[in-house]
Structure 1
Amino acid sequence: MSASKITILYVDDEENNLFSFKATFRLKYRVLTALSGDEALKLLKANTVNIIITDQRMPEMTGVEFLEKVLKDFPDPIRILLTGYADMGAVVDAVNKGKIFHYISKPWNEDELDSTINRAYAEFLEKAQLKEMNEKLEGSNDQLEFLLRQKLLS
């Protein structure tokens, strides 16, 4: 398996949906699947994930609740919410609390989902590049401060 493949974590309590997603996208992406938010959190601890796609309606933890937990320890993956219900309250919560990138209604359209995954990955790369640049800038600022202090002391 190519290391350059986008890694997607797909979370849904309906096993058929997990099989369908994996069958559709396994050749193009590295696909991890979980039947619950708790199972997904364990996978996030053990894997580097670029994109998280989660169903909203799950028994122990809704998609929004799961994404809120994800944000605390894993802020980098781009988050996408799927739901089969026209539940605008959940969508608003997902945007505000789960900081989702995109909302897709179920049943999903393969081309739309694939396009969304690619746009989400571009966002992931952009955020990673910005984070790296900020870290370099912090290092440069520390070096500059050190040099200025040395000048002042001499």
Structure 2
Amino acid sequence: MAVGVLYVDDEINNLNSFKAAFRRDFNIYTASSAVEGRRILDGNEIGVIITDQRMPVTTGIEFLESVLQTNPDTIRILLTGFSDINAVIDAINRGQVYKYLVKPWQNDELRIHIQNAIEIYNLRKENKELTYKLQIANMELETLSKAFR
């Protein structure tokens, strides 16, 4: 199964538009709150999280910051209808955001950003797997080396 893209926004019309625009290209999940977004993250492999900044209860930055520990390799994109320099700074510093985009999004532009983010996610995942295999090979080599001393 392809890696998932999670879009979190409190506006149902935005969720429906996003899903309609990108469902043919990506494995799309949508959530109308941070709590619902966390449930989706817990049960699925999500490579990209896109979230609105201004939501009730939890802002997009707070949501992205809250999932850093459990999903450190997931690529994070903040999408907002407001250009607020403090939100940009917080997104970069606290939420480790890959991209900060302004609503309304352009489908072609957002599609390219999602594709790039998925590539980065897959490369990180592959890099971790190769690093793990290398560590195993090094331990086996160390064991063999000790046996021949």
For this pair of structures, how many residues does the alignment match? 149
The answer for the alignment partner of 2:19 in structure 1 is 22
Q: Distance in 2 between the 1:48 and 1:120 partners?
A: 14
Distance 1:143 1:96 in 2: 40
Partner of 1:137: 134
Q: TM-score, normalised by structure 1?
A: 0.91
Aligned counterparts of 2:96 and 2:43: Cα–Cα separation in 1: 22
Distance in 2 between the 1:129 and 1:50 partners?
13
Specify the alignment match of 1:64 in structure 2: 61
Q: Which runs of 5+ in 1 are unaligned?
A: none
Tell me which residue corresponds to 1:112.
109
Asked if 1:81 corresponds to 2:78, the answer is yes
Unaligned runs of 5+ in 2: none
CA RMSD of aligned residues (A): 1.2
The structural deviation recorded for 1:145 is 2.1
Identify which of 46, 62, 67 aligns with 1:49.
Answer: 46
1:46, 1:81 → 2: CA distance? Answer: 22
Structure 1 runs, 4 residues or longer, greater than 4 Å off = none
Which amino acid is the alignment partner of residue 125 of structure 1? N
Q: 1:9 aligns with which of 6, 18, 23?
A: 6
Deviation of 1:147 after TM superposition, in Å, equals: 2.0
Counterpart Cα distance in 2 of 1:134 and 1:105: 36
Distance (Å, rounded) in 1 between the aligned partners of 2:127 and 2:20: 34
CA distance in 2, matches of 1:136, 1:88: 43
The structural deviation recorded for 1:107 is: 0.8
Taking only the aligned residue pairs, the percentage that are identical comes to: 47
